[in-house]
Structure 1
Amino acid sequence: MSDLDIDRLGRRAEAMLDELAAISEEPDRLTRRYLTPEHKRAAHLVAQWMAEAGMATQEDAVATVRGHYPMAGEAPGANAVPRLLIGSHIDTVINAGKYDGMLGVVCGILAVEHFRDAGRRFPFAIDVLAFGDEEGVRFPTVLSSSAAVAGAYEPRWLEGQDRDGVTLGQALADYGLDPAAIPTAAMSRDEALAYVEIHIEQGPVLEHQEAPLGVVTSIAGQFRTRVTVSGMAGHAGTVPMPLRQDALLAASEMMLMAESIAKAHPEAAMVATVGQIGVKPGAINVIPDRVEFVLDLRAASDAPRHAALESFTARAEALAAARGCAVAFETYHDCPTAACAPWLQDGLAASMESLGLAAPRLVSGAGHDGQAMARLTDFAMMFVRCKGGISHNPLEFATVADMGAAVAALIRFIEGFAPSRPKT
């Protein structure tokens, strides 16, 4: 058994998550989008916690909060210090739960705090990262904060607009940042020894197996494709049904078709979702002439995912033509399947087993910052059991005991981390 106070660690995590969850754009539910005033308040709170845990803090050019716990013998201001990266995100979906993303940041801070209290340092530094744009809710970007750290930021993202017409570049400037400085956020491969993230599972596997924690083997690949269907507006009472060019009906058939494509590929764990749709002109008595929706398509391997998108676009064009409509596609996010490094998986498993816990391995169907960080260094993820597998929902829940076990396992992982091992 562990000599760590798992209950105390879990209760500390719960209290910090409650404090973060109180920072919201809306009074009665948790919504915190990237680069909003609420995001800035949350970032400042996280930076305060990092400093209290013994870390030097800074905010990079894309608003990622970075806490740095120096390595043994590290000179002040030293450059290119080898470091273990631990992180997750502090932005949320609309009407969110309080664990998604934030738990990983809090666990990293509590682990560093443990070593600060014990007076321990390692032959590597520890950086805790609190990313701001993982969910991609405000702008048509996904994982842009972690992509900047990985040196893979795409300048075209700066032109993307939110629903109010504010570009990402303008939002960064309004936040107090300089978009021209984004390249300075990138780390070198010599600096980044590995990236590790703790996250609620967002699925039911661990609960079904009665396991508090699990080791992620890979993250499913993902497309986000904006689909625009154009028809002809007309009077709802005077245009006969056979003569209509109804963009909404055409779009509805496309969404059902996307569902059928995903259901046809259970071997790839494929899923298709439409969670955002806009209809114009949006009047009760007018036939819709323009519909925009975003297709979120994911699979456990990339070949069937690409084939599915090709099938969707071809069949959507046929459906549009049959109704006298046109359709256009813009795939603005294509994140390949990302495999977790076996040596890091083994390290996480050993840390769980040292606490007397099982270490089941499972695939992540949800996207995570590790997919972007994989461009920089090896990465791995630890999943934490969540009630009913519910996430992106106020009912999202993880127990104090499970969160405490996650912090304890992270502490054990750091103690056993061997940065000299070759990267895969």
Structure 2
Amino acid sequence: MSAVTPTPVPTASTRALADAATIVRWCDALAAVSEDDGRTTRVYLSPEHARVNAVVAEWMHDAGLRTWQDAAGNLHGIVDGATPDAPVLLLGSHLDTVVDAGRYDGVVGVLMAIRTAARLTAAGPLPVALQVTAFSDEEGTRFGKALLGSSAVAGVWDEAWWDLEDGDGTTLRQAFTDFGLDPERVGEAALAPERLVGYLEAHIEQGPHLEQAGQALGVVTSIASARRFTVEAVGEARHAGGTPYERRHDALLAAAEAALAVERICRAEQHVGTVGTMSVEPGAVNVVPGLARFSVDLRGEFDEGRDRVWEAITAAFDEIATRRGVTVSPTEVHRAPAVFCAPRLMDAIRAGIASTGEAAPAELFSRAGHDAMSLGLVTDVAMLFLRNPDGISHHPDEFVSEDDVALGLDALAVAVERIADDVVADGREVPA
């Protein structure tokens, strides 16, 4: 009988294990920077945003990075390349959170980028400058518009956003001023695309696929195409006791039926649709609801499929509205095209994962949005996913192990080295 060769178990370097322990400790420290006692909530242009930028800037400085905060409140740190005109490789993720968040979403990617930059430049500069960016508003928790920070860096700021309001009625423009930023200078946050060689983002997987595959790390192939809507169902408020069913125009029941239609259609079409909020007016126990407002978050792998599914959803809304004698009116509040990761950068991440001992790295489509979506408008992007047990995210129970962070650090370091080597091989020159 021939001997069976055992499958090698991925192992991390001693340096990566030490850095991973530091990163997990830092994640714990940042989780305490919150506007809420007992849970982590950190939103754009808040005092907590300022505090976390200050803390992370110190860690960047200690790692040898030169730091600054840009005109949109994003934090940057850079280690210059071997020449003044060296192209820039961006590494990063985000520091803001949802309400009652976990401690790893976004944050672990920023901290991994810092330790990777320190590790790779300890013996001297690389052929590329390494710029670590901690984006300030990936989640969109405060103003309802995601990717504000990375949109500014990508140079795609929309002037209409200045009128966005938070729950207290503060406009985005006023929040900029209160934070000490000048709204008229937001354009200065934009990076010059011609200087960029690409963007890499490490992030916990927000799903269970790596755990199911028994792998610590994965290569992201693309990021979901997304649309978001607020929807109003308008009926007629009438006395609950005195109005027969045949005379009711119940906005809440129409909205509830519409929410079920979103689930039914998306399950059948293998898309992701979520009704995450709903409110009712007048909100009295003895009044038939006359108004219901709800949200729809729709995601798919391709723009065409996403739009086709939305057409089916709106057709269902129209049928429900007609049958119940109400109006159902959606308003689009967010649209993001699918972003496909660059093959050359995916190859670099794949090589990085293989260097840890994983012979066949998993490839995943990201159903969650990321700052890489904005950066994809101006440069090539790729992402490294880390295993997240049970796939839970946007929740205090989200988790990534020290061992998996260490493997991710080794993989990210090899990926960066591979990209730097490619720059040398290509003889790339950056315009002055």
User: When the two structures are superposed, what TM-score results if normalisation uses the length of structure 2?
Assistant: 0.92
Q: How many residues align?
A: 413
Deviates more, 1:132-141 or 1:250-259: 132-141
Give the whole-Å Cα distance in 1 for the aligned partners of 2:305 and 2:353. Answer: 34
Cα deviation, residue 202, structure 1: 1.0
Q: Does 1:99 align with 2:104?
A: yes
SS, match of residue 190 in structure 1: helix
SS, match of residue 187 in structure 1: coil
2:117 aligned residue? 112
Aligned counterpart for 2:386 among listed residues 362, 366, 384: 384
Q: Does 1:355 align with 2:356?
A: yes
Give the whole-Å Cα distance in 1 for the aligned partners of 2:266 and 2:146. Answer: 22
Q: Is the CA contact (8 Å cut-off) linking 1:4 and 1:408 kept in structure 2? A: no
Q: Give unpaired runs (5+ residues) of structure 1.
A: 75-79
2:278 aligned residue? 277
Q: Does 1:301 align with 2:305?
A: no
Question: CA distance change for structure 1 residues 3 and 99 in 2, over 3 Å: closer, same or farther?
Answer: closer
2:5 aligned residue? none
Give the whole-Å Cα distance in 2 for the aligned partners of 1:206 and 1:7. Answer: 21
User: Structure 1, residues 337-393: CA drift from partner, whole Å, max 9, x if none?
Assistant: 111000000001111212223421111111111111110100000000011111111
Q: Does 1:182 align with 2:186?
A: yes
Cα deviation, residue 81, structure 1: 5.5
Give the whole-Å Cα distance in 2 for the aligned partners of 1:317 and 1:166. Answer: 35
Aligned counterpart for 2:33 among listed residues 23, 32, 39: 23
Give the whole-Å Cα distance in 1 for the aligned partners of 2:183 and 2:82. Answer: 34
- Written as runs of structure 1 = structure 2, the 5 A alignment for 1:328-343 is 328-343=329-344
SS, match of residue 193 in structure 1: strand
CA RMSD of aligned residues (A): 1.6
In structure 2, give the amino acid aligned to 1:398: V
Give the whole-Å Cα distance in 2 for the aligned partners of 1:141 and 1:148. Answer: 13
1:53 aligned residue? 63
Q: Is the CA contact (8 Å cut-off) linking 2:236 and 2:290 kept in structure 1? A: yes
Aligned counterpart for 1:219 among listed residues 218, 223, 244: 223
Question: CA distance change for structure 1 residues 81 and 328 in 2, over 3 Å: closer, same or farther?
Answer: farther
Q: Does 1:393 align with 2:403?
A: no
Cα deviation, residue 114, structure 1: 1.6
Give the whole-Å Cα distance in 2 for the aligned partners of 1:285 and 1:171. Answer: 40
Q: Is the CA contact (8 Å cut-off) linking 2:342 and 2:382 kept in structure 1? A: yes
SS, match of residue 67 in structure 1: strand
Q: Does 1:205 align with 2:206?
A: no
1:77 aligned residue? none
Give the whole-Å Cα distance in 2 for the aligned partners of 1:170 and 1:196. Answer: 32
User: When the two structures are superposed, what TM-score results if normalisation uses the length of structure 1?
Assistant: 0.94
Q: Is the CA contact (8 Å cut-off) linking 1:344 and 1:379 kept in structure 2? A: yes
Give the whole-Å Cα distance in 2 for the aligned partners of 1:368 and 1:214. Answer: 16
State the identity %. Answer: 42
In structure 1, give the amino acid aligned to 2:107: M
User: Structure 1, residues 266-289: CA drift from partner, whole Å, max 9, x if none?
Assistant: 2xxx11101122222222222222
